[in-house]
Amino acid sequence: MTEVIMPKMGDGMEEGTLLEWLKNEGDSVKSGEVIGNIQTDKAVMELEAPGKGKLAGILVPVGETVPVGVPIAALLKDGESLPDGWGSGAPAAPAAEPEPAVVAAPVAAAPVAAKSTGRVKASPLAKKVAEKAGIEIAAVAGTGPGGRIVERDVRAAIEQQSTRIPAAPPVAAAAEDIKVPLNHLRGIIAQRTLESKQQVPHFYVTVEVDLERIETLRQAFKEEESGKVSVNDFVVKACAKALVDMPEANATYGGDHVLQFGSVNIGVAAAVDDGLLVPVVKGCENLTIRQISQSVRDLVGKARDGRLLPDEMQGSTFSISNMGMLNVDNFTAIINAPNAAIVAISTAKRVPVVVSDDEIEIRTVMNITGSFDHRVLDGASGAKFINIIRDYLESPTHLLS
């Protein structure tokens, strides 16, 4: 018998929802044949048969979410039958890391967030409820005897996550409150941003960038056959170069060490219909601005069409959040853990600027704000890093190499 388990289709995947069985019990399937569809955190993936045989003993009905590694069905060879008690047992020990179905990112495999390895004082029920709700039990505050985490604490944490959606502004008393259930992506965003804000000590540094030269260059690009390059592309390239110059910002906190990545993989936050996705441009240190521009356009397009592969959203070493098109003066971004930094890009605007010779000129400027993990970088390093980016953006010819 071959067990069909919920496969791990990427590093960040912890559970999957069975969307559809494409084969019925009793159907013969070949190894690698697609037998169902699975919704992961971010995308719909095909479930491939891990061997050949007859599909049997389906344990997970359509719509159910189970952790990675849990048996969901079996494949039987001729003459085999399901073992007694099939499906009644405990899920396979989650410690047994199943082989990732997708090849992990190169060099800079996404580092796992430093998990507390010590004993967590929690009731068995609290652990179970947290596990099923996808909550990191160690992050829950315990109210039981001696700070023990009990069921109500986990329930409260789940509640807190779900109420973190900005509520509709209070309006006329006649309007009724509407409870909008979380979609899957919303839930993931809620969990990730909460974890980052709670676990990563953020600090922020803002600078104003003069875009005059970039605007001139963009005009030049526009006139070329190969087409437009956006401010965002310049920013990605500037960040890539800054990260090469300052590898301490291209890093992650590892509990007892800081891991500096060999490769620069930049996550570019993209708004999609029901939330936010962060596709990753990999190997930015080796890409020209044109290549970056192409890559970002492809990935963001895929994200908006829901076609991103899990691997295209993993392995970032640094992230950028751009609200340039949203007419904002300045904002700060939440670090995309386990990255050590993120840069927030605001809208470019025409303002009077004091230039050399104490004269005032109208120029195009924009604010950029870096958010840094204080466990990895101190204020001076953050300031240095954000100024390197500014220097590149104000001297954009360096970005054309």
> Total residues contacting other proteins (rule CB under 8 A)?
13
Residue span binding other proteins (CB under 8 A) among the ranges 120-128, 134-142, 344-352, 391-399: 120-128
Task: At 57, give phi and psi (nearest 5°).
Answer: 55, 45
State yes or no: residue 126 binds other proteins (CB under 8 A).
Answer: yes
Distance of closest approach, residue 71 Cβ to other proteins, in angstroms: 15
Under rule CB under 8 A, residue 303 binds other proteins: no
Look at residues 389, 113, 345 and name the one whose alpha carbon lies nearest to residue 249.
389
Taking each continuous run of H as one helix and of E as one strand, the counts in the chain are: 7, 19
Nearer to other proteins, 126 or 266 (CB): 126
Q: Is 146 in the site for other proteins (CB under 8 A)?
A: no
User: Which of 61, 79, 118, 124: binder of other proteins (CB under 8 A)?
Assistant: 124
- CA distances to 202, 233, 268, 279, 396 from 214, in Å: 30, 11, 20, 25, 6
Q: Does 125 bind other proteins (CB under 8 A)?
A: yes
- Start-end of H helices in 72-150: 124-133
User: What residue has token string 């930049």?
Assistant: 266
Position among 52, 128, 164, 304 found at the interface with other proteins (CB under 8 A):
128
Nearer to other proteins, 142 or 382 (CB): 142
Cβ closer to other proteins: 124 or 181?
124
Instruction: Using only the alpha carbons of the chain, give its radius of gyration.
Output: 24
CA quadruple 365, 215, 250, 270: dihedral sign? positive
d(CA 322, CA 300) in angstroms, rounded, equals 12
Distance CA 368, CA 342 (A): 10
The SS3 call for residue 340 is: coil
Decide if 374 is catalytic: yes
Query: Does residue 88 belong to the site contacting other proteins (CB under 8 A)?
Result: yes
User: In whole angstroms, what is the distance from residue 141 CA to residue 119 CA?
Assistant: 14
Q: Please tell me what DSSP assigns to residue 97.
A: -
- Nearest 10 degrees: Cα torsion 48, 54, 58, 63: 40
Which of residues 3, 14, 27, 151 is near other proteins by CB under 8 A?
Answer: 151
Contact 12, 3 (CB under 8 A): no
The only residue of 60, 72, 150, 303 in contact with other proteins, by rule CB under 8 A: 150
Minimum gap (Å) between residue 134 Cβ and other proteins: 14
Stretch that binds other proteins, among 67-75, 83-91, 231-239, 289-297 (CB under 8 A): 83-91
132 binds other proteins (CB under 8 A): yes
Instruction: Determine the interface stretch with other proteins among 82-90, 104-112, 240-248, 369-377 (rule: CB under 8 A).
Output: 82-90
Distant-in-sequence contacts of 75-79, Cβ < 8 A, 24+ apart: 75/1, 75/2, 75/3, 75/4, 75/29, 75/49, 75/50, 75/51, 76/1, 77/1, 77/52, 77/53
CB nearer other proteins, residue 93 or residue 362? 93
Q: Which stretch binds other proteins (CB under 8 A): 122-130, 204-212, 238-246, 288-296?
A: 122-130
Q: How far is the CB of 194 from other proteins (least distance, A)?
A: 23
Q: Which one of 46-54, 85-93, 288-296, 363-371 is the stretch in contact with other proteins (CB under 8 A)?
A: 85-93
Burial of 389 (0-12, 13-18, 19+ CB in 10 A): buried
Instruction: Figure out which of the listed residues 26, 61, 79, 85 binds other proteins, where binding follows CB under 8 A.
Output: 85
Regarding 123 and contact with other proteins (CB under 8 A), the answer is yes
- Which residue is catalytic, options 184, 257, 374, 398? 374
Regarding 90 and contact with other proteins (CB under 8 A), the answer is yes
Among 55, 129, 300, 344, binds other proteins (CB under 8 A): 129
Name the one range near other proteins by CB under 8 A: 74-82, 87-95, 102-110, 336-344: 87-95
- The DSSP H or E segment spanning 187 is helix 184-199
Q: Which is nearer to other proteins, 71 or 338 (CB)?
A: 71
Residues 6+ apart with CB under 8 A from 308: 42, 43, 277, 279, 299, 302
Q: Which helix (H) or strand (E) holds 391?
A: helix 379-394
Give the nearer residue to other proteins in terms of CB position, either 130 or 376.
130
Nearest CB to other proteins, comparing residues 126 and 284: 126
Nearer to other proteins (CB atom), residue 126 or residue 135:
126
Q: Which residues are catalytic?
A: 374
Binding site for other proteins (CB under 8 A): 85, 88-90, 123-126, 128-129, 132, 150-151
